[in-house]
Amino acid sequence: MALDVLVVDDSAMMRAIIIKTLRLSKLPLGKIFEAANGEQGLHALEDKAVDLILVDINMPVMNGYEMIDRVRQNPKTAKLPIVVVSTESSETHIEMVQRKGAGFIHKPFNPETIGETVRRMTGVQDEQQNSASSLQSSGPDF
């Protein structure tokens, strides 16, 4: 299963870094959508089906906390896996993120950290495991 992902961060450079790191993480990725703030992220969710949201906390217009709250209030998106990617790593912030049912990744991060967190939040396997499984299951029956 390929993951369609929404990346929400006010920095275009940070969105590019997150997307590049996602691609290096060996996760099976489908479409990747971007938004510059929580409001744009919510608009993107109106017409795009995604399997995962990666969101920053500190953004103009609508911050990450408010976006998470609004996603959780909508029955169509309430159960979507959300991972906060932020420099805000105090215990208070991490506890608030966890109370909202989201995962947390501290900036800076690496492909392994993103991969492990996304696998834990979504249950998806990486690309190599998926192709090995399909090769094994499509082999001859004896």
Q: SS3 for 18-46, per residue?
A: HHHHHHHCCCCEEEEEEECCHHHHHHHHH
CB 109 within 8 Å of CB 89:
no
Q: What is the pLDDT of residue 127?
A: 62
Q: Which of 6, 5, 86 is nearest to 38 (CA)?
A: 6
**Which pTM value belongs to this model?**
0.86
Q: What is the pLDDT of residue 9?
A: 97
Opening angle at CA 30, ends 29 and 32, nearest 5: 95
Least confident of 37-51, 106-120, 126-140: 126-140
Structural domains in the chain, CATH included, are 1-51 (3.40.50)
Q: pLDDT, tens digit, for every residue of 29-56?
A: 999 999 999 999 999 999 999 999 999 9
Confidence band of 77 (pLDDT split at 50, 70, 90): very high
Q: What is the pLDDT of residue 1?
A: 77
The answer for residues whose C-beta is within 8 angstroms of residue 49's C-beta and 6 or more apart is 4
Confidence band of 128 (pLDDT split at 50, 70, 90): low
Q: What is the pLDDT of residue 19?
A: 96
pLDDT > 90: percent of the chain: 78
The answer for residues whose C-beta is within 8 angstroms of residue 2's C-beta and 6 or more apart is 28, 29, 30
Q: What is the pLDDT of residue 140?
A: 34
Q: pLDDT, tens digit, for every residue of 83-108?
A: 999 998 789 989 999 999 999 999 98
